[in-house]
Amino acid sequence: MTTKQRFRNKYRLQIREDDHPPMHAHLVGGNVDVLINLQTLTCEGTFPRGLRDEVMTWVIANHDELIEEWKKWHP
């Protein structure tokens, strides 16, 4: 797995190799595991208070890089 970004020194946005479709990233840390669909930008799971906007702003700004990373691990 590869950590693409850290948020608040506690949460990590990860792309995992050999993961299942659809194309997605995980936000993990503490008891958090949010799945972010990279095609639809929908989310499954509960974000810590106030973190959703910060994470999704970063995901949208780095969307192309995240898609490339997914394709690298899932040819």
Distance separating alpha carbons of residues 42 and 44, to the nearest angstrom: 7
Q: Give the pTM.
A: 0.93
Per-residue pLDDT of the chain (75 residues; tens, 9 = 90+): 689 999 999 999 999 998 999 999 999 998 999 999 999 999 999 999 999 999 999 999 999 999 999 999 998
Q: How many domains does the chain have?
A: 1
Domain of 57, in residue numbers: 2-73
